[in-house]
C-alpha cells in the first residue's frame, strides 16, 4: 500500500511540474528581436519605438509606457488582450484604433512631451504613456 501511495504522489508531482513548464510560453520572435513589452524602447535600426501591450487583471499591462518625443511609435496588443481593450485610444493625442489582431498597430510620432492617458473606448482599461 505504501509503494502505491508513493507512486501516485510521484506521478502527481511529475504532472504538475510538466504542466508548469508547458504553461509558460517561450519568448516570441518579437520579444527576442529588440521589440520588448513594456517600458523598453526598441532599438531596431529605424528608430521606431515598438511597444507590445498585454492584459493583466482585466487591464492593460504594463500600465506605464515610456517613449521618446520626435521618434515614431508603433503600439500593438498581444493575444491576451480581449474585448473592449482592443479598442485602443489616446484621446489627448487624438488617436483611436481598433487593434483586431496582434499584427494591427497604432502608429504615430509624439511631438510634445508629457504624460497622456491611454484607455479602451469604454474607459474600463487604462494606463499612461510618458513622452520624454
CATH code: domain of residue 84: 2.60.40.420
Q: What span, in angstroms and rounded, lies between the C-alpha atoms of 85 and 28?
A: 21
What are the tens digits of pLDDT across the range 49-93?
999 999 999 999 999 999 999 999 999 999 999 999 999 999 999
Would 19 be classed as within a structural domain? no
- Taken in order 107, 35, 118, 120, is the CA torsion positive or negative? positive
Threshold 0.85, pTM exceeds: no
* Number of domains into which the chain is organized: 1
Strands 87-90 and 36-37: unpaired
Q: Is residue 44 part of a domain?
A: yes
Sheet containing 95-98: which strands, arranged edge to edge? 64-67, 126-131, 114-120, 87-90, 95-98
Amino acid at each position: 500500500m505504501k509503494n502505491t501511495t508513493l507512486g501516485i504522489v510521484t506521478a502527481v508531482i511529475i504532472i504538475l511540474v510538466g504542466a508548469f513548464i508547458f504553461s509558460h510560453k517561450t519568448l516570441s520572435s518579437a520579444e527576442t528581436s529588440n521589440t520588448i513589452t513594456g517600458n523598453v524602447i526598441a532599438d531596431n535600426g529605424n528608430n521606431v519605438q515598438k511597444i507590445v501591450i498585454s492584459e493583466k487583471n482585466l487591464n492593460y499591462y504594463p500600465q506605464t509606457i515610456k517613449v521618446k518625443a520626435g521618434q515614431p511609435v508603433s503600439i500593438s496588443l498581444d493575444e491576451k488582450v480581449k474585448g473592449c481593450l482592443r479598442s485602443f485610444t489616446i484621446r489627448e493625442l487624438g488617436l483611436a484604433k481598433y487593434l483586431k489582431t496582434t499584427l494591427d498597430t497604432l502608429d504615430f510620432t509624439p511631438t510634445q512631451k508629457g504624460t497622456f492617458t491611454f484607455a479602451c473606448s469604454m474607459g474600463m482599461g487604462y494606463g499612461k504613456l510618458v513622452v520624454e
